[in-house]
A and B are shown apart, each in its own frame.
Chain A
Amino acid sequence: MNLDLAPEMREFREEVRAWLRENVPREPQPHEGPEMRAFDLAWQHRQYEGGWAGINWPVEYGGRGLSLLQQMIWYEEYAWADAPDIGSCFVGVNHAGPTLIARASEELKSFHLPRILRGEVVWCQGFSEPGAGSDLAALSTRAEIDGDHLVVNGQKIWTSYADEADYQELLVRTSRGARKHDGITWAVCDMRTPGITVRPIPTMTGPAHFCEVFYDDVRIPLSDVVGEIDSGWSVAMSTLSFERGTGFLKEQVRLVRLVDQLVELARDRVDPRGRRRIDDDVIAQRLATARAEAAALTAMALADISRNARRSQPGVEGSMLRLFFSQLGQRVAKLAVDIVEEDGLEARPYGLPDSFAADWYRTFAYTIAAGSKDIQRNIVGERLLGLPRGR
């Protein structure tokens, strides 16, 4: 147990801080359409050029090969520098990339990983279906093997950035075995393949990058399958823990900062009778609790990193971090709306400064995406506490 940073880690932090000071884009980040894609890729590319992409990815695929701790320092400084959201680069950098590193062939790794890091491609995730949400293994998008191709027919849904994506991590059903988890295959799907139709779905935060995707005889080369045919479930599971835990580190740091900013906001804002919002006992109580919980979140995240640094695969403890983070994020976002009172009613697009309501609506995704909070609680109950399975 120690909070000491070795001298070389302090130097690393200084280096990160200096680079971010010079390089963080100051223009507002677009959250829609081709402008969003262009902005996100340009920012990813700038990080790559600066040597900051893939900090703990292997060197042979363009990463830096550094430690998880250094990755954490990067995220901390990134959040404190008010650097842009990773946006449409999220799936490639935080999910597809780590999955490919863990499970893909050399050919796929050396083709895709540098492109992800250099900010040349946007990825999306084709997992959920209309009939397969929490029960992901019930997915029914079919893939038949035809020569050296998979031929895919079916539908995916809740696919973020599908309308801007170049590639998709796609789960398809290649056979129906005794267990529904068997018979699933994980493949890289080129989104320009004929037969793919993408329909954007507006969300409660407004127009968004949320989509459904239809597949009509879409042909995917067998060489783009990751892992074996019918073994896609284990490929998908190999990185979900990452997505739930350390993958959200930057968002965790940002949430801690947001709470501090809300304390300032409540000191600056006055109600119509001229009373500072922080002098409202209810607001003060909620802010104090949020600060305490944000401090606990910082500690939990560091504990998660400490655990993961001692083993090769992230553990299921990431689900506890995810549960705590996501629910705290919702409480804090609602608190912001309550501090600004009437101003929270103004419809402002997500991503603008002071878009408190849209920021709050956005947090509803926290307890649905990457496994709903109910699924996370099943995981904690069954895999950490050893409770019997059941529904």
Chain B
Amino acid sequence: MDLLPDDDQAAIAAAARELVGATSPPGRLIGLSPQGPVAEPKLWRLAAQQGFFALDVPEVLGGAGLSLAEQTLVFRELGRYLAAGPFLGTVVAAQVAAAAGDTELVAEVTSGALPVGLAEPIPDGLLRTFDADDARAFVVVTPDGTTVYDAGSTEVVRRRPCVDAASRWAELRVVGEPRRAVGRAEFDALPYASVLVAAMLSGICEATRDQSAAYAKVRQQFDVPIGSFQAVKHRCAEEAVRAEAAVQVVTFAALAVRDGRPDAALFWPAARSVTFDHAVRNASDNIQNHGGIGYTAEHDAHLFLKRAQLLGELLLPPRDVRRALLEAPEARPA
């Protein structure tokens, strides 16, 4: 048992961090057009080239043969830098294709040629997505299974502006046939995708912790850095505690889901609950720590809060996370 990354895993995390940080810093979202595609083309291309989408696809299907645990390291970095684009839907679709043994679809998705948006059922037989303008396909996660549709098999019914500047919110109707579908027994998308949502939220926890600490070291008031005041220092320390809890619960959940452990039923909802709560609180404290500039749209502090807010609603809203937490069996070590 060891919860920390080994050398190979640390290298994956470092490579992802360097790539995402260099191509797509959070500030990119400031002034982003409210319409049209949001993915940074260079990031999307290089992410595909570096094999992000195929990290946890079996080697026989052309993937790297790693697991959800490694994928959480990449998604933590995507969360840290508020990367825009249909990353989550694309890796979920890659798993659908892999589970179905559809090598053609695997190749199309993992090469980045077919960006797949995440979609979920909403009332009136419609689907909801936040990836409308980048996706060329959609992957729909339901309690029974997961289905990939080409974008041409759907039509937009309604569009809604989203608080997250990098999201393209649309309600869709299915008008064509599925491209590929798998049942829950072949691929259980909800725990998988939930762990990756939690991983992105854990990245937000870390980013806001680091932004707060960096600012508290340089911002001077009363002739000293504000980080020397306990009121600020202690807020930063609690941000560090929340980030640590978020990162570690995500790792544990990823391993539990990957290994099919009985405690996965507790840990993946726990990861969602803790990372959502901690990301919102860290992002809020980060705005407070920045004072006036933190309230402006010119600073990126508010972007972390809004992304956290969106991620908290994806796939399983908090009320259902709560139910899953209360229903999960107790987790005795085995």
Binding site for B on A (CB under 8 A): 1-5, 9, 13, 69, 73, 76-77, 80, 256-257, 260, 263, 278, 284-285, 287-289, 291-300, 302-303, 306-307, 309-310, 317, 320, 323-324, 374, 376-378, 380-382, 384-391
How many angstroms from the CA of A2 to the CA of B252 in the assembled complex?
8
- Does B150 belong to the interface (CB within 8 Å)? no
Q: A285-B322, A292-B277, A293-B270 are in contact. List 8 more A-B contacts (CB 8 A).
A: A284-B326, A288-B326, A291-B266, A293-B274, A298-B331, A381-B233, A381-B234, A388-B228
Query: Known contacts being A296-B245, A302-B1, is A391 close to B230, with CB within 8 Å?
Result: yes
Contact of B273 among A263, A288, A306, A380 (CB under 8 A): A288
Comparing B56-64, B99-107, B254-262, the segment that makes contact with chain A is B254-262
Chain A residue at smallest Cβ distance from B330? A260
Chain B 213-271 interface residues, beta-carbon cutoff 8 Å to A: 213, 216-217, 224-225, 227-230, 233-234, 236-238, 240-241, 244-246, 248-249, 251-256, 259, 261, 266-267, 269-271
State how many angstroms separate the Cβ of A256 from the closest Cβ of chain B. Answer: 8
How many angstroms from the CA of A378 to the CA of B6 in the assembled complex?
30
How many angstroms from the CA of A309 to the CA of B234 in the assembled complex?
28
How many angstroms from the CA of A1 to the CA of B251 in the assembled complex?
8
10 A-B pairs closest in CB distance: A390-B228, A295-B270, A292-B273, A387-B227, A299-B252, A377-B237, A380-B237, A299-B248, A381-B233, A296-B249
A381 contact set on B, CB distance < 8 A: 227, 233-234, 236-237, 240
A-B contact count (CB 8 A): 173
Report yes or no: A295 in contact with B252, Cβ–Cβ below 8 A.
yes
Listed by A's residue number, 25 A-B pairs whose Cβ atoms lie within 8 Å are A1-B2, A1-B69, A1-B254, A257-B330, A288-B273, A288-B321, A288-B322, A295-B271, A299-B251, A302-B248, A306-B4, A307-B4, A324-B241, A377-B230, A377-B233, A377-B238, A380-B240, A380-B241, A381-B234, A385-B236, A385-B237, A386-B213, A387-B216, A387-B225, A390-B229
Report yes or no: A387 in contact with B248, Cβ–Cβ below 8 A.
no
- Does B43 belong to the interface (CB within 8 Å)? no
- Does B328 belong to the interface (CB within 8 Å)? yes
Contact code string B308-329 (vs A, CB < 8 Å = 1, else 0):
0000000000000111011010
- Does B3 belong to the interface (CB within 8 Å)? yes
State how many angstroms separate the Cβ of B273 from the closest Cβ of chain A. Answer: 4
State how many angstroms separate the Cβ of A109 from the closest Cβ of chain B. Answer: 30
Binding site for A on B (CB under 8 A): 1-6, 9, 69, 209, 213, 216-217, 224-225, 227-230, 233-234, 236-238, 240-241, 244-246, 248-249, 251-256, 259, 261, 266-267, 269-271, 273-274, 277, 321-323, 325-326, 328, 330-333
A5 contact set on B, CB distance < 8 A: 1
How many angstroms from the CA of A303 to the CA of B234 in the assembled complex?
23
Report yes or no: B255 in contact with A320, Cβ–Cβ below 8 A.
no
How many angstroms from the CA of A386 to the CA of B238 in the assembled complex?
14
How many angstroms from the CA of A300 to the CA of B271 in the assembled complex?
12
State how many angstroms separate the Cβ of B87 from the closest Cβ of chain A. Answer: 21
Contact of A296 among B225, B237, B248, B261 (CB under 8 A): B248
Contact of B244 among A287, A291, A317, A388 (CB under 8 A): A317
State how many angstroms separate the Cβ of B94 from the closest Cβ of chain A. Answer: 21
Report yes or no: B325 in contact with A291, Cβ–Cβ below 8 A.
yes
Report yes or no: A3 in contact with B1, Cβ–Cβ below 8 A.
yes
Chain B residue at smallest Cβ distance from A267? B326
Report yes or no: A378 in contact with B249, Cβ–Cβ below 8 A.
no
State how many angstroms separate the Cβ of B158 from the closest Cβ of chain A. Answer: 31
Report yes or no: A1 in contact with B255, Cβ–Cβ below 8 A.
yes
A387 contact set on B, CB distance < 8 A: 213, 216-217, 225, 227-228, 233, 236
Chain B residue at smallest Cβ distance from A301? B248
State how many angstroms separate the Cβ of B226 from the closest Cβ of chain A. Answer: 9
